[in-house]
Amino acid sequence: MTLTEPLVFEPLFMERVWGGRKLETLYGKKLPQGVRVGESWEVVDREEAQSVVHTGVLRGQTLNELWTDFRDSVFGTRYRNAGPRFPLLFKLLDAEEKLSVQVHPPSAIAPELRGEPKTEMWFIADAERDADIYAGLAAGTTRAAFEEALANGTVAHLLHRMETEPGDCIFIPSGRVHAIGGGNVIVEVQQNSDTTYRVFDWNRTGLDGKPRALHISESLRSIDYADAEPRFQPAGAEPLVECEYFRIRHWALDEPREAGAVGDFSIVTVLSGAVACAGLEFGPGEFFLVPATLANRTLQPVEAETSVLLTEHP
């Protein structure tokens, strides 16, 4: 099958105690009423959550059905021997309040902990004044010092805090302790995993009024204690982020650009302005998949100051 337009999926909205309503005000997402939406899962292939195509000849197909039944046409022939699920997951996060301090297990120990490794990237799409994130540890922090601070409820001073502005980007490999501060809207690109170990939750209660579960032993085993004071990705880096799981480019589209080569797929996230591709137009906060067999894969800026993220699988 040769496809003639990008694939667009229905977002899945996730209620979170720390969420808000900015995905509605910033991007026009049709959120459920009266719900604090913290996450919009834009492209996902999980047993518990499936993206569904909502336009074109493949309308109604789930992402897993595309990966299983239309792999050559949508993703490219080099994935014929890949695993049973699409390997990436794309989200928009609206952190009205700060998230828990957490970590994802490194691949070397994830099976032993009955979890999945999860390396991810955060791109700050919007940030209020004084918004921040935490990533990595303060220099000189040892496991013993971290455990003592955890017992005393004073973990925050051992975390590396970074104030955020729109356009900031940070790489979060498995093992890097992290937390998102309130006031951030973030594009997250990650491995297809949903394993998160909470090590500290700011003494907060969940939606049911009870303290949320913590995963102290798993977290302490997963944290990379040598990971001190990481920095944001260099502005203008090309690619912006590259690892074994994904390659991400940040383009200011002042002229048309090609979304990769025919024979492979890419996923485009519109950050600002508007972009047209193969007859369809997309605005801020929208995601679309450029199929491997799409011949017309030109990204055409429709408005001034159009910018996008282009994600490829290495």
Structure tokens at 134: 């935490």
Residues catalogued as catalytic: 198
Nearest one of 20, 13, 12 to 184, comparing CA atoms:
20
